[in-house]
Amino acid sequence: MIEAEVPVVNKLGLHARAASKLVKLTAGFESSIKLIRKNQEVDAKSIMGILMLAATQGTQIRVITDGPDERDAMDAISEMFEQCFGEDE
Amino acid sequence: MLALHGTGVGAGIAVGRARIINRTSDKITQYPIAQEHVQKEIERLEKGIETAQHSLFELGKQFGKEVPEEVRALLEAHSLMLKDPLILQESSRLISEQWINAEFALNQYGTRLERVFEQIQDPYLSSKSVDVAQVIQRVLGAMTDSQEAIGGQPEGTYDGEIIIVNDLTPADTIELRKHRIIGFVTKLGGPTSHTAILARSMKIPAIVGMHGSVGYLRTGDLLIIDGKRGVILASPDNRALAAYQRRREKIIRRTQALETLRDAESVSLDGQRIMLMSNVELPDEVSYSVKQNAEGVGLYRTEFMFMNREQMPDEEEQVEVYKQVLEKSDCPVTIRTLDLGADKQVDGGRSADNQSTNPALGLRGIRLCLHDLGLFKPQLRAIYRASIFGRARMMVPMISNVEELDQLFRLIDEVKQELAEQNYPFDSELQVGGMIEVPAAAIAADIFARKLDFLSIGTNDLIQYTLAIDRIDDEVNYLYDPIHPSILRLIKNVIDAGLDAGVPVSMCGEMAGDPAYTRILLALGLREFSMDPAGLLEIKQIIRRSDVSQLKLSLPKFMSATEPEKLRQQLVELNR
């Protein structure tokens, strides 16, 4: 199991567009992936779960990956957050 | 007999039987299941979700290649939600904990989800509760094999009926085109809802925003709906029925009589040529505009492409759509750049951070575009690239300041230079005009006329801004008055400024398509009208019966009238 904190840096936060990109990414990993914000824990493979986090710019999100490809999953997710989900800002 | 009121959309009267289409969840029943059946219920749920995914896929296929972009985005979002493990997990948990049937568990979980979304502070995310509801509906519909779900009915099931429904989704509106429905009544929605757009494009009347009063209507009731007045008469007595039938026939006869004017010239009795153009939103509407013999498109609104979707259309997609629009018409097509903000909020998250208390005076129209070049520049590039496929003109909304124009022209130069370097052909002489809808621009119209190739008066906003009344606010909209002396003076000022600068002035607001104002506008010197193409022939008829030079003689009396009552009286006389 790996844990890491990632900040939401893109301007729009985890909006529908970012959330669908994230879901499409996480669906490709076997590991279970959780996102935690404050006390709320959601499945990163669930688009509605991610949307319900309502994470805006500046929010810190704890990511937990657990499974055979947990390292790859964590790397890919952190990269997607850093790259602002491919948005301009 | 029962009379109900709502917001009328589309002209005309429909008389027919009501058909209430209930959403499946309105009749979900709860029944307990035996513990040993828990697994079976969960399997039923899985199967339901699978069927729903399949039906969504089939729906997508039905559109073939011509899936409107906003529908495609919606289908994709819904299909992601259907694949969401949360729905299955949480509903299954309810089934195994409470020993209840799958439909009830799903409905219960769906309601909870909707509520969670509604409570999200962010208005954009919060609006996703609608999508959640629609996805749950689709699964429920698949599980109960409901006869009343809108989708999947054989072609023609609803022929000749008036459909009554809470609200229509974009997907519903596509499904409903398969039936020859004669009218719509919806509980929710306003004049710009999907229902309204569908009704207008099907040329049938609709009454939207009925709220609780739809509850009085029953399937099979004989209804009269009057789109112009926003009235529904349920189970009318014979007298009302006869009266409305007569009115309906009269409208039909008038429409048929107007048809004979289709090929007639738009010329006044004293030989003045008046240009009649149309306002359109969808590429399809351009064909209708051509059929009505409009002399061009005076306003092609590009917002539609940007709304109801997650991702903004990119340059290529826009080029494709503008090309389609331009190729449908041999006449000039005026492409208006994005006019978002205020009442037209864009999706894709952009609306979320704009929480101004006064959006009509906020970041909208050209202001928003110049503020967000990531949004605007691809549109400019797309318009220029598409300009070679027809007779394009470009028009920018909401200008209030010359610096905005200077900025715009610098941007245009930049775009042209880039396109030339990238070897894209474009019309370098593309005309650039502006909408005059802010009082500042109307008062200083001479300044703007010198910088632009044409002006177009947007009366809806001009009136709202000048009289400081919000048209959608029920408590003040009685003050909305297109012949308020201030409005007449502003219009005259713009028309005169155009004449002085040698720049054509058109009008594309609702006033231009309202037969009550055609003559006063002619008297003010307006020569180009742009309107909903459905009303074009009626305006043409008025023009052909008007003597412009005579009308002009009565103008001084009009402009000097001070009493609103007297002005109205004069308008009646003018129209006689």
pLDDT digits (tens, 9 = 90+) for A9-27: 887 788 777 888 899 899 8
User: Can you say whether the dihedral through the CA atoms of B384, B390, B393, B397 is positive or negative?
Assistant: negative
Set of chain B residues whose Cβ sits within 8 Å of the Cβ of A51? 117, 120, 125, 128
- Structure tokens, B300: 């092609």
B-chain residue closest to A54, CA distance: B120
Query: Are B461 and B409 spatial neighbours (Cβ–Cβ below 8 Å)?
Result: no
Set of chain B residues whose Cβ sits within 8 Å of the Cβ of A54? 120-122, 125
Query: Are B95 and B42 spatial neighbours (Cβ–Cβ below 8 Å)?
Result: yes
Interface membership of A55 toward B (CB under 8 Å):
no
Q: Is the pLDDT of residue B412 over 90?
A: yes
Asked if the Cβ–Cβ distance from A15 to B124 is below 8 Å, we say: yes
Burial of B443 (0-12, 13-18, 19+ CB in 10 A): middle
Q: What residues have CB less than 8 Å from A1, skipping those under 6 apart?
A: A64, A65, A66, A70
- Structure tokens, B332: 């000039």
Dihedral, CA atoms, B227, B156, B194, B224, nearest 10 degrees? 20
Q: What residues have CB less than 8 Å from B5, skipping those under 6 apart?
A: B213, B230, B231, B232
Partner residue facing B132 (CB), from A15, A48, A56: A48
Task: List the end-to-end C-alpha distance of chain A, in Å, as a whole number.
Answer: 31
Interface membership of A48 toward B (CB under 8 Å):
yes
Interface test with B, best of A8, A10, A17 (most B CBs within 10 A): A17
**Nearest-neighbour CA in chain A from B128: distance (Å):** 9
Interface membership of B552 toward A (CB under 8 Å):
no
What does pTM read for this prediction?
Answer: 0.64
Outline where DSSP puts E strands in B197-332. Answer: 206-208, 222-226, 231-234, 275-280, 297-301
**Nearest-neighbour CA in chain A from B470: distance (Å):** 30
Partner residue facing A20 (CB), from B80, B85, B132: B80
Asked if the Cβ–Cβ distance from B86 to A49 is below 8 Å, we say: yes
Burial of B267 (0-12, 13-18, 19+ CB in 10 A): middle
pLDDT digits (tens, 9 = 90+) for B466-516: 999 876 666 777 888 999 999 999 999 999 999 999 999 999 988 999 899
Interface membership of B348 toward A (CB under 8 Å):
yes
**Largest alpha-carbon pair distance within chain B?**
89
A15 belongs to the catalytic site: yes
Set of chain A residues whose Cβ sits within 8 Å of the Cβ of B350? 12
Asked if the Cβ–Cβ distance from B349 to A15 is below 8 Å, we say: yes
Set of chain B residues whose Cβ sits within 8 Å of the Cβ of A53? none
Provide the pLDDT for residue B354. 46
Distances (CA, A) of B363 to B351, B353, B469: 11, 11, 19
Asked if the Cβ–Cβ distance from B76 to A20 is below 8 Å, we say: yes
Place of tokens 């099907």: B202
Interface membership of A43 toward B (CB under 8 Å):
yes
Average pLDDT over every residue of B94-116:
88
Asked if the Cβ–Cβ distance from B310 to A20 is below 8 Å, we say: yes
Set of chain B residues whose Cβ sits within 8 Å of the Cβ of A20? 76-77, 80, 310
Provide the pLDDT for residue A14. 82
pLDDT digits (tens, 9 = 90+) for B1-60: 888 988 888 778 999 999 888 765 556 677 888 888 899 999 999 998 998 888 888 777
In 3D, which of B141, B163, B166 has the Cα closest to residue B152? B141
A-chain residue closest to B312, CA distance: A17
Place of tokens 């493990």: B85
Query: Are B428 and B371 spatial neighbours (Cβ–Cβ below 8 Å)?
Result: no
Average pLDDT over every residue of B145-161:
67
- Structure tokens, B209: 């925003």
In 3D, which of B485, B498, B560 has the Cα closest to residue B525? B498
Asked if the Cβ–Cβ distance from A43 to B85 is below 8 Å, we say: yes
**Nearest-neighbour CA in chain A from B450: distance (Å):** 37
Q: Is the pLDDT of residue B288 over 50?
A: yes
B217 torsion bin: left (phi>0), alpha (psi -120 to 50), beta (else): beta
In 3D, which of B556, B562, B560, B558 has the Cα closest to residue B572? B558
Choice among B179, B194, B331, B369 that is catalytic: B194
Asked if the Cβ–Cβ distance from B84 to A12 is below 8 Å, we say: no
Provide the pLDDT for residue B527. 97
Q: Is the pLDDT of residue B351 over 50?
A: no
Provide the pLDDT for residue B487. 96
Partner residue facing B128 (CB), from A16, A27, A43: A16
Helices B485-501/B459-467 angle, 10° precision: 130
Interface membership of B377 toward A (CB under 8 Å):
no
Average pLDDT over every residue of B554-561:
91
Provide the pLDDT for residue B572. 92
**Nearest-neighbour CA in chain A from B85: distance (Å):** 6
Query: Nearest 5°: phi and psi at B108?
Result: -65, -45
More confident residue, B171 or A75: A75
